[in-house]
């Protein structure tokens, strides 16, 4: 039985998720469709990539992860099938996919119209159309079937790992500074950055530091081990259970107070 996960920005109250789940099950009746979330903020693929990164390792090898955030269907934007550690991601081309994985995938196939026609022909599908208003419905279930049939990716197009191997959303490293971004705001208003503890300590090399927020207006010079080491209403930083630098406020929302959102800049300044 194949496991297929759904991560979208479609809102649970709309019909899109139900339609694509039905289309998947019509092609793959034995599939187990797991709805990770439909509550990603609309078009915030950065937020969605963070969620996907956290859940992907918890699912069995061979699972298919449909990442449907920030709808494509632009002239030069096509879906990708990414094979990684024996599992698969199907997503629109997007630079944030570089955040999902730390290493190069086994294969990255770009699904141009010609490639998709070849896949449909191989599967014997003649009536699978793609509606411009909801292209995922016509594309992603068919691509899931293609993976389930264990057809060879190499037969349909070249491996193009460079499409996801780098990302403008990765931290920028300088001798005195480490510049990252907020990649996720959790339900408590905490801002999670793309700066890992490993990277922080590697650049720090025992030096003192300041975490600078919102154009130098707010600075933090201590990293907590827990939330309650700081007084209520004060901003704080810690490395969370995922080992990402997280900014928060005890009994408050740092994202609301400082206007932080996915993409906001966080700078760490190291002092000799």
Query: Where do the domains of the chain lie, and which CATH numbers do they carry?
Result: 3-163 (3.40.50.10790), 172-271 (2.40.30.90)
Label residue 72 by pLDDT band (50, 70, 90).
Answer: low
Would you state the pLDDT for residue 127?
74
Interval 48-73 mean pLDDT: 90
Helix count (H) and strand count (E) of the chain?
Answer: 6, 14
195's torsion region: left (phi>0), alpha (psi -120 to 50) or beta? Answer: beta
Q: What is the pTM of this model?
A: 0.85
The predicted pLDDT at position 164 comes to 85
pLDDT digits (tens, 9 = 90+) for 127-152: 778 888 899 999 999 999 999 999 99
Model pLDDT, residue 126:
80
45 DSSP assignment: H
**Predicted pLDDT of residue 101:** 85
pLDDT value at position 73?
57
Q: Do residues 237 and 245 lie in contact, with contact meaning Cβ atoms separated by under 8 Å?
A: yes
Burial per residue of 148-167, b for 16 or more beta-carbon CB atoms within 10 angstroms, e otherwise: beeeebeebbebeeebbeeb
Report whether pLDDT(166) > 70. Answer: no
């Amino acid at each position: 039985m194949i496991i297929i996960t759904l991560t979208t920005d479609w809102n649970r109250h709309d019909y899109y998720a139900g339609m694509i789940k039905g289309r998947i099950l019509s092609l793959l009746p034995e599939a187990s469709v797991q709805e990770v979330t439909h509550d990603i903020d609309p078009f915030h693929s950065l937020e969605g990539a963070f969620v996907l990164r956290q859940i992907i390792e918890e699912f069995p090898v061979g699972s298919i992860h449909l990442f449907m955030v920030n709808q494509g269907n632009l002239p030069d934007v096509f879906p990708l099938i990414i094979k990684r550690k024996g599992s698969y991601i199907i997503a629109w081309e997007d630079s944030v996919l570089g955040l999902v994985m730390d290493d190069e995938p086994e294969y990255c196939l770009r699904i141009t119209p010609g490639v998709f026609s070849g896949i449909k022909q191989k599967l014997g599908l003649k009536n699978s159309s793609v509606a411009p208003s909801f292209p995922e419905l016509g594309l992603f279930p068919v691509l899931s079937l293609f993976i389930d049939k264990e057809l060879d990716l190499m037969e349909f197009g070249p491996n193009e790992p460079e499409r996801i191997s780098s990302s403008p959303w990765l931290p920028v490293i300088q001798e005195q500074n480490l510049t990252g971004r907020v990649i996720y705001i959790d339900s408590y208003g905490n801002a999670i950055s793309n700066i890992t503890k490993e990277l922080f300590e590697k650049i720090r090399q025992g030096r003192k530091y300041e975490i600078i927020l919102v154009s130098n207006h707010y600075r933090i010079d201590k990293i907590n081990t827990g939330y309650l080491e700081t007084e209520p209403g004060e901003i704080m930083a810690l490395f969370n259970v995922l080992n990402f630098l997280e900014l928060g406020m005890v009994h408050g929302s740092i994202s609301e107070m400082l206007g932080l959102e996915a993409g906001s800049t966080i700078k760490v300044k190291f002092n000799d």
